[in-house]
Structure 1
Amino acid sequence: MAKLEIASFNLNSAKIAQEFGADRVELCAGMEVGGTTPSDEDVLAARKLLTIQLNVMIRPRGGDFVYTDEEFTAMKRDILRIKDMGIDGFVFGILNADNTVNESKNRELVELALPFPCTFHRAFDEVFDFRKALEDVISCGFTTILTSGCEPNVDLGLRNLVELVKLSNDRIVIMPGGGLRSSNVAHLLDKTKATYFHSSAITDGSDTAVGDEVTKLRSQL
């Protein structure tokens, strides 16, 4: 059975994710920019609230994924601080100016995060050569890639997602996400054979997961 991660931009969303059957919460702030590092207060509160796994996004701002030295230093500080808060993993991704994977900086963060696993987030969807990027991300020590298949959403990226799962050859988890809903998850599962799926489960225009949508997603995996 495949597993379900719910991107949660507030504590209520995290609570709903758990209550309605998610396997893991990805806690973020900044929904309007696709997710940023949440506050310490929210991380600690989420840890008290949840018995399921809790991954935390490390992203100092919205926009591109090319970071200054100051931003990179802030990311390192955030990881060192948050890893003592009882979380289960981190989510981040750094690119070079040419949209290739910045291996040295990502590797440094992955090593800093040990023993916690790390997910390379949808910065992956900005790369030009996803086959090379896949190998680069694996070499950095990530355990998961969150991706829509280098297209705006999982439906458009389906073909690439199928290829990524095959190319990964169980060396890393390819987690489809980006426009994933109960209306398409069964088709994505059938075609990709992925083992983990990612959704915000937001269907009502708010910033909070909808319990019924989480249930429908869970029931099809």
Structure 2
Amino acid sequence: MPYQIEVCVDNIESLTTAIHAGATRIELCSSLALGGLTPSYGFMLQAKQHSTLPVYAMIRPRQGDFLFSDADVAIMLEDIKAAKKAQLDGIVIGILTTKADIDYPACKRLVEAAEGMGVTFHRAIDQCKDVQQALEDIIALGCERVLTSGQKSTAEQGVATIKKMHQQAAGRIQIMAGAGVNASNAQYIIEQSSINELHLSGKTARPSRMTHIQDDAQMGASHIDDFQIPITDFSAIHAMKQALQNIR
């Protein structure tokens, strides 16, 4: 299949589901509800053992913006070492300056640390003040792809910018569309932008299988159900695969 379906997962159950549903690459995270943070080393090891697909680890030490301190970068460098030790195929990074440019020196340190692994630049590019210059900087870093929503909340809304980025890239880097991508809009995004890589989580949830729940002992924020398990929806990924197979 000429199209790539990257599925981001934050637990081993979702990894298995994504593979069986038709994903072609896995982005490994923790805390997808926060936009995706660095997965644990144990998760990296298990993912490598269970996956028949390339696995890329998100390298993002905290939620919030993409302005990282020297201490944050030090953590990211150690996490890249862990990803290499787990023999993952690549990493996913993004660091910006206070003025919303690519922090080239800091990103270069991460890319150099990942020597021998693939590198994707994530949606931090959607926060950049000059997306054209940001794309050139990412290409110069040696990244193999960039994930973007075209600086909009969803890739469908940002498809015109995604198309411009694809034209600017001119084969020097892959442009991958993500944010709100699903089976119903995949063909539109591809036909409008001419890209061939899509990124989604296909999120759903299942109830806990515990037979006893202590309702009065809330573990997290009050608006979060402790006993709803976020997982990848097989049907969402499989429907995406079917939609892409129908494109001529």
Relative to the length of structure 1, the TM-score reads 0.97
Match of residue 172 from structure 1: 173
Q: What displacement does 1:193 show?
A: 1.4
Match of residue 40 from structure 2: 39
State the secondary structure of the residue aligned to 1:109.
helix
Q: Partner letter of residue 32 of structure 2? A: M
**Residues 91-130 of structure 1 correspond to what in structure 2 (within 5 A)?**
91-130=92-131
1:29 aligns to 2:52 (yes or no) = no
Give the distance between the partners of 1:35 and 1:81, measured in 2 at CA: 17
Q: What displacement does 1:97 show?
A: 0.7
**Residues 139-218 of structure 1 correspond to what in structure 2 (within 5 A)?**
139-203=140-204, 207-218=230-241
State the 4+ residue runs in structure 1 displaced beyond 2 angstroms: 203-207
Listed as ranges, the gaps of 5+ residues in structure 1 are none
1:80 aligns to 2:81 (yes or no) = yes
Q: Deviations over 1:90-124 (max 9, x none)?
A: 00100001110001111111111011110000111
Give the distance between the partners of 2:23 and 2:182, measured in 1 at CA: 13
Listed as ranges, the gaps of 5+ residues in structure 2 are 207-228
Q: What displacement does 1:32 show?
A: 2.1
Q: Partner letter of residue 20 of structure 1? A: A
Q: Is the 8 A contact 1:203 1:213 kept in 2?
A: no
Give the distance between the partners of 2:99 and 2:154, measured in 1 at CA: 22
Backbone CA RMSD of aligned residues? 1.2
Q: Is the 8 A contact 2:204 2:230 kept in 1?
A: no
Q: Is the 8 A contact 1:120 1:142 kept in 2?
A: yes
State the secondary structure of the residue aligned to 1:146.
strand
Q: What displacement does 1:172 show?
A: 0.3
Q: What displacement does 1:155 show?
A: 1.5
State the secondary structure of the residue aligned to 1:208.
strand
Identity of paired residues, percent? 32
Q: Deviations over 1:183-208 (max 9, x none)?
A: 11111111111121100012569621
Match of residue 66 from structure 2: 65
State which structure, 1 or 2, has the greater radius of gyration over its C-alpha atoms: 2
Higher RCO (C-alpha 8 Å, min separation 6) = 1
